[in-house]
Amino acid sequence: MTVPAYLHIVQYCAFGIAIIANSLLLHLIRMRAGLSFGRYRVLMISFSIYAIVYANIEIFTLPVMYMQGAGMIFYVDSVLKNHQDIGLLIAVSYCGCLAFCISMLATHFIFRYIAVCRQHHIHIFNGYKVYLLLIPPFFLFLIWAGAMFVCYRPNEVKRDFYRKVIADLYEEDIDQVAFIAPLYYTHQTDGSVLYRISDLLGCLLSCGILGACFTTCSICAYKTYNKLHDSAIQMSKRTRTLSKQLFWTLGLQTLLPFITQYIPVGLVFLLPLFEIQVGKTMAVPVYLHIVQYCAFVIAIISNCLLLHLIRMRAGASFGRYRILMISFSIYAIVYANIEIFTLPVMYIQGSGMIFYVDSFLKYHQDAGLLIAIVYCGCLALCISMLSTHFIFRYIAVCRQQNIQIFNGNKIYLLFLPPFTLFIIWAIEMYTCYRPEEIKRDFFRKIITDLYEEDIDQIAFIAPLYYVGKNS
């Protein structure tokens, strides 16, 4: 199968993280979210439960998407792949969860808007009436899932349209796998275009739900923000502080799926209308680079925000530890830039692994090799910086009489080991794993077949531990 196994490993890891994080969040809401949170606790609990359910649905789906022409195919790559009826059900449920998620976030913003801007109406959420807010998300979930089933379910035209690409790229028989697929129009042999109305209506409905929910979030967020920062409004300091914390938490909770989920989903629906190819143009799915760019933006925004919070909120009680906190945020920003200049692609074959640069530096072999070894060196820099944090906390807690060794500029001595290890790791990558003719010959065929690249032209590093007789 051409779907890289490491993608499924990432999905399983994300599943584990989601279950642990949301279970922990449920525990914290139960233990720490007191009466001051009011009925908003119900929405917080419901979203965490949704996140756990969604994680399970995703792991039963393991979605694979590919765009071709004026359509996009979405097939199930989990244990339900060859169970077409159940696989189709889990696929439409997975898609319906997108509508459920964004509409749940919209209900959160509506609640915050009423709690802050229309406090005299907050009684409408008393008792069991707060559960009425869950009706629109479930309703939109059913509409979206129903639209996916009615408009995008498999038929013979779609099977024939995607048969070759699914066989060539993923080595799958489209008659055996569970899938859904929008196909907006097809070109006829006489040059005319045949539009498929049901698929176009499905696209219109999906984009309409996304647009309506996002508009609701934006309007409620704008009005709530203005209200919280209006000093003329009578509100206790404690209430204002709690409301601001909840507002910013909700904002970040919405921003993350918006960048990583809803923008890509919107593009998935819209780009095929213009026959814009997004998929294995070079056998590296373009959506992976989209995820990398989104992660870059999130890293820059979150670490700049963290630097601001450290500057404004981390007072004298943090002592010299503020230096380590600031340095790690700066490192994270630098690393995000290095990664975007690298866009690494890795493939394991036999007793070796090739790591090549897929950014605009791909064909600049010297600069590409430099950025590749710097990227690898950052791994040593990161883990050694984390070690210095633990060393500082150990001395601050267990050896308080020695804490003066970090006074003044001496704190910066803690950066010497990370930078030393960074240099050692980077030099090791260059010395041991730099390109050689034997490595080029070993990986040449796989790089050509899978990624349609000429290994003599691209920048790469590659460990190759041994070569057998048949290699």
Residue 282 has pLDDT above 50, yes or no: no
For the ranges 74-88, 179-193, 274-288, 402-416, the lowest mean pLDDT is seen at 274-288
Same domain, 194 and 315: no
Is 289 contained in some domain? no
Which pLDDT does position 285 carry in this prediction? Answer: 63
Which of 243, 267, 291 terminates a domain? The answer is 267
Distance CA 354, CA 346 (A): 6
Q: Are residues 144 and 74 in the same domain?
A: yes
Domain for residue 169, yes or no? yes
Closest CA to 85 of 160, 154, 144, 164: 154
Specify whether 311 is located in the same domain as 432. Answer: yes
Same domain, 441 and 345: yes
Tokens of 42: 């119900």
Same domain? 396 vs 446: yes
Tens-place pLDDT, residues 300-324:
888 888 888 888 877 677 788 888 8
User: Could you count the other beta carbons within 10 Å of the beta carbon of residue 369?
Assistant: 20
Could you tell me which residues are beta bridge partners of residue 464? 352
What is the reported pLDDT for 169? Answer: 79
Question: Nearest Cα to 41, choosing from 51, 55, 26, 53?
Answer: 26
Structural domain containing residue 186: 5-267
Clarify whether residues 434 and 339 are in a common domain.
yes
Any idea which of 65-69, 245-249, 436-440 has the lowest mean pLDDT? 245-249
Is residue 291 included in any domain, yes or no?
Answer: no
Q: Name the pLDDT band for 289 (thresholds 50, 70, 90).
A: confident
Q: How confident is the model at residue 281 (pLDDT cuts 50, 70, 90)?
A: very low
Residues 145 and 195 in one domain: yes
The answer to the question of residue 324 being in a domain is yes
Structural domain count, the chain: 2
In angstroms, the first-to-last Cα distance of the chain is 21
Q: Which of 356, 373, 375, 382 is nearest to 429 (CA)?
A: 373
Q: Is 427 a residue whose pLDDT tops 50?
A: yes
One domain for residues 225 and 352: no
In a domain, 279, yes or no: no
Q: Confirm whether 296 is domain-assigned.
A: no
Which pLDDT does position 375 carry in this prediction? 94
Asked whether residue 195 carries a pLDDT value surpassing 70, the answer given is yes
Instruction: Dump pLDDT digits (tens) for 17-45.
Output: 989 999 998 888 888 776 667 788 888 89
The mean pLDDT value of the chain amounts to: 85
Please report whether residue 285 resides in a domain: no
Are residues 224 and 307 part of one domain? no
Beta bridge partners of 179: 75
Task: Return the CATH number at 82.
Answer: 1.20.1070.10
- 83 pLDDT band, cuts 50/70/90, is very high
Please report whether residue 323 resides in a domain.
yes
Token duo for residue 440 = 């080029």
pLDDT at 35: 65
pLDDT of residue 419: 94
Query: Are 457 and 403 within one domain?
Result: yes
Take residue 352 and report the two structure tokens written for it. Answer: 């070796």
| Residue located via tokens 């965490």 | 48
Distance CA 216, CA 214 (A): 5
* Residue 67 phi, psi dihedral angles, 5° rounding: -100, 135
Which of residues 267, 292, 322 is at a domain's end? 267
Q: Tell me, what's the pLDDT at 122?
A: 83
Give the domain-ending residue among 223, 248, 267.
267
Q: What is the CA radius of gyration of the chain?
A: 26
SS3 content of the chain, % helix, strand, coil (to 5): 70, 10, 20
Of all residues in the chain, what percent carry a pLDDT higher than 90? 40
Q: Which residue has the tokens 């055996």?
A: 176
Cα 468 to Cα 246, 346, 447, 463, 464, distances in angstroms? 60, 21, 19, 15, 11
Give yes or no for a contact between 143 and 251, defined as CB atoms under 8 angstroms apart: no
Please indicate, yes or no, whether residues 215 and 97 belong to a single structural domain of this protein.
yes
Rounded Cα distance, 260 and 421, in Å: 33
- Do 419 and 360 fall within a single domain? yes
Instruction: Give the model's pLDDT for residue 280.
Output: 47
Length of the chain: 471
Tokens linked to 230: 């209006």
Q: Which residues of 230-262 are buried (b: 16+ CB within 10 A; e: fewer)?
A: eeeeeeeeeebeebeebbeebbeebeeebbbeb
